[in-house]
Amino acid sequence: MTTRRRLPTPGPAATGAQQAQAAPLATPAVSGASGNFARPGMTPREIVAAVRALPGVAITSVGMRDAGQSDFKNRLRLHDLATLAPHYERMGLFSAECHGGARWHVGIMNRRESPFEEIARFRDLMPSVLLQTLIRETNLFGYRPYPRRVIEHVVARVDIDVWRCFSFLNDVRNMRAVAEVVLSRGRLFQPTISFTASDWATDAYYLGVVRDIVDLCSGTDEIVLCVKDMAGVGSITRIGRLIDAIRQRWPDLVVGYHRHITDGLAMPALLAAARAGAKILDAEEDSLVRFYGHSPILAVQAFLEESGIPVHLDRAETEAAVSKAREWVGAYEWAESPFKGLDHTVTRHRMPGGAFPSSFEQAQKGDFLHLMPGVLSVMALYNRIVRYFDVTPGSQITWVTCSGLVNRYAKERGDAGVAHLIRLLTTFVEERGQDFAAMSREDQEELLTLFRGAPGDFKNLLLGAYGRLPAGWPADWVYRSAFGEEAERKLALRREESPLESVPDEDLETQRQACAEQLGRAPGEEEFILWLMHPKDALDYVAFRERFGEASVVLPTAVWRAGLRKPGDRVDFELWGKPYSIELVSVGAEHEGRVHVVVRVNNRTQVYTVETPRAKKVEIRMAGRPGQVGAPANGNIWRIGNPERGPVRAGDIVHQGEEIANLEAMKMENAILAPFDGQIAEVCVRLNEPVREGQLLVVIERIEPPAAAPNSPDS
């Protein structure tokens, strides 16, 4: 990427050469910063000791990441979030969660911002604040398990102070590679237990998870444990009891509590956590609070202090940050979820706060928003059949599987079909106690086809590709439903080991060469890491930035989203220390799909030709005949072929059930399988090409067995 690294911020930013190496072990603390008891440059042991000695509780602000993920579809831009940073510098926070999770992916895909430039900007503006990320153990900042070498390479090169790491299966083995690199770099590791409310999620279960974490990290002196209530389903009593049990067993362990507000009971739950001994609580700017994020930071401080618990927070600076966010948050109203209001029924369907806006956005795009009540009802029942934690990538697996089921029944029988599906699952789960034999023969047959069209990641989950399920494997009928006649063979392949052991390792230089081939040049280190996480979207991001430079970073949000609308509209900004002014002069009439746009840039008139959607018409071929393999859903073709044999091309022989392509839809992988033994006659799509449901992907010609040779005198 040829764009310049330096952004319009005070102070120097990291150069490309500096960022190409592993980030340094420590960032020098800035002297004179008020109220920051924990700062970059302190060792993990020093940070933990400082938190232990702190009266009352400290705050992690999630306003720069999880607030945006939970209520604004991850669309909050660096341009606006940077205005909060000078206040964060003086607020006395424990840390600022400003990186990771789905923000990484949406940044390159939609906002066209690099997670590396975010870190550089925040380092400039709040140098004495601990920067915090959220990472998904072996899934890193993506949605599938990555090989060990990839994990180690990425974690070693991201300049973050606090690494909050969770497993959606609470499989602590999956955290090992991240923990080893973070601890070896002298950064703070924050292992996290995923919380849910269920009959199997007992104190004894969670204490076992914490024991594994303490063993992994060789004690409690250099870590902070986080209890992650990502859906906001923990009752006030339950949360207090759990944190008390953890503290009774490990009195010196520093515990933090991450709690979404969806059920409406977050504030008293935070108080219960603090009274039980939690030292760090997550909160966000009051002006950013909607329905699925976190509690308002000013209200949290007032509520806890009135209840006798000191909160380490500079009130005046926090009020200033809240006011600053209020100035620009209205520009993101379009990104809010159409599902408004708190929802205590989340305690049944357990959709996490971070998944609410994106799921409803996908439902809008897929034209099934009206089916969402049915989807949530099915999720509540599904969660009792296949038991794990609904947080990424588990939340995506649940969402895609359940929304796919509801859509299938709706297409076949309309609203009556959806009602029938809910009745079937309700009967099985609640009335028959999941006793398959107690169901009628007709219902049994229907259950055995229920998951036949489920996404590939659901099937991978059943086979142990992500690790062990926390409450044991599902009943055998689920495997028969998902795999049909292949169920017995698939069960024999189910793995018990961690993906760190089962995922084949990759040669990074081979991967770097593949990235260079797709990019058309040698990638920079940051580009390579972006590509390792999300190949297609990284390539799109690089192409955008090479064409448009820092437009996504410097333009005000209103202009970035809507542009200059009428002649005379103007935008002023600074880039690389130089002021710029762009004024729209005129927009010509459309002719043969093209429009001439006249703008004035720093008083110099320039004319641009813009192609409209009518300028290019591309025929979309649809599958319909035998041997024509179509896309199962709207998505992107991110692999043609399979990991074992590599790419497939016209003329190749493939076998029934062999993966010939893989489609990413709603952040989930969907393997496209050969319907029979045959020869590929045509590959109809390109790598990383977006496709629509039913679009022709591959044409396969059946291979007929050779005819028997006639008998001859010589035979």
Inform me whether the pLDDT recorded for 30 exceeds 50: no
Run of H or E residues at 205: helix 203-216
Strands (DSSP E) found in 405-538: none
φ, ψ for residue 371, nearest 5 deg = -90, 0
8 Å CB contact between 680 and 649 = yes
SS3 55: coil
SS3 693: coil
Topology at the third CATH level for domain 628-702: OB fold (Dihydrolipoamide Acetyltransferase, E2P) (2.40.50)
Q: Where residue 707 falls among pLDDT bands split at 50, 70, 90?
A: low
Mean pLDDT on 229-250: 96
Inform me whether the pLDDT recorded for 26 exceeds 50: no
How confident is the model at residue 706, as a pLDDT? 57
**DSSP β-ladder status, 131-135 and 95-100:** parallel
Total residues belonging to the chain: 715
Facing residues of 100 across strands? 134
Sheet containing 696-702: give its strands across: 628-630, 696-702, 678-683, 653-654
Inform me whether the pLDDT recorded for 33 exceeds 60: no
Cα 702 from Cα 692, distance rounded (Å)? 25
φ, ψ for residue 119, nearest 5 deg = -60, -45
Domain 45-335 has CATH 3.40.50.300: no
Q: Residue 47's Cα: distance from chain center in Å?
A: 28
How confident is the model at residue 47, as a pLDDT? 98
φ, ψ for residue 451, nearest 5 deg = -105, 15
What's at 637, amino acid-wise?
Answer: I
Tens of pLDDT, residues 577-632: 899 999 999 999 888 788 999 999 999 999 999 888 776 666 789 998 889 999 98
How confident is the model at residue 348, as a pLDDT? 87
Mean pLDDT on 277-284: 98
List the one residue out of 386, 391, 385 whose CA is nearest residue 350.
Answer: 391
How confident is the model at residue 524, as a pLDDT? 97
Which tokens in the block code for residue 66?
């999880």
Cα 111 from Cα 118, distance rounded (Å)? 12
8 Å CB contact between 487 and 479 = yes
Straight-line distance from the first to the last Cα atom of the chain, in angstroms, rounded to the nearest whole number: 68
**DSSP β-ladder status, 668-673 and 188-194:** unpaired
Cα 623 from Cα 618, distance rounded (Å)? 16
* Core vs surface per residue 321-351: b (16+ CB within 10 A) or e: bbebbeebbebbeebbbebeebbeebbbbbb
Q: Is 41 left (phi over 0), alpha (psi -120 to 50) or beta?
A: left
How confident is the model at residue 218, as a pLDDT? 96
**How high is the mean pLDDT of the chain?**
90
**DSSP β-ladder status, 659-665 and 628-630:** unpaired
Sign of CA dihedral 360, 362, 365, 369: negative
φ, ψ for residue 510, nearest 5 deg = -65, -40
> What residue spans in the chain does CATH classification 3.20.20.70 cover?
45-335
Distances (CA, A) of 251 to 31, 254, 276: 32, 8, 11
Q: Where residue 354 falls among pLDDT bands split at 50, 70, 90?
A: confident
Mean pLDDT on 639-646: 86
Other CB atoms within a 10 A radius of the CB of residue 250 amount to: 18
> What residue spans in the chain does CATH classification 3.10.600.10 cover?
564-617
Q: Homologous superfamily of 564-617 in CATH?
A: pyruvate carboxylase f1077a mutant domain (3.10.600.10)
Cα 24 from Cα 27, distance rounded (Å)? 7
Tens of pLDDT, residues 135-154: 999 999 998 899 999 999 99
Q: Residue 634's Cα: distance from chain center in Å?
A: 19
φ, ψ for residue 217, nearest 5 deg = -95, 10
Q: Where residue 576 falls among pLDDT bands split at 50, 70, 90?
A: confident
> What residue spans in the chain does CATH classification 2.40.50.100 cover?
628-702
